[in-house]
Structure 1
Amino acid sequence: MNAIAAIVIASTLLAAVYGVVFSYFYPLVEMTAGLLTMFALFGLMTSVAVAGIWRMKRKSKSHDA
């Protein structure tokens, strides 16, 4: 599996988690397309950030050895 597919899958799962957590804390708020888009963007940003941090950690460990 290439990196782009992994980021897409992870961001989709994170968006679903963000939506579930939001609906748990705010049950009276209607889920609109704007909120779903926001969760999708948050999921994508989180996935890209984690992938970048992971890559930096792997590079720093390979230089230390």
Structure 2
Amino acid sequence: MIDDIFEFIFELLLELIPNAVWKILLSVVGIAMTVVGATKITESTRLGAALIVVGTFLFVGSLISLYRSS
């Protein structure tokens, strides 16, 4: 029951918000993760590197997606 409610809300959000907004949001999250990873790399090399890689992947992936769609 509660799973159906969450699924309905999730689908509603996906329909209401345009894809360009999701892509811009993902690029901002990617930049933030990269910055946090760069500051954390002095404390933990693995955590910092993982955050940098995932953040860069999100940022570059969303930019490529925006470029291809236009």
Common fold by TM > 0.5 = no
TM-score by length of 1: 0.44
Greater RCO, 1 or 2 (C-alpha within 8 Å, sep 6+): 1
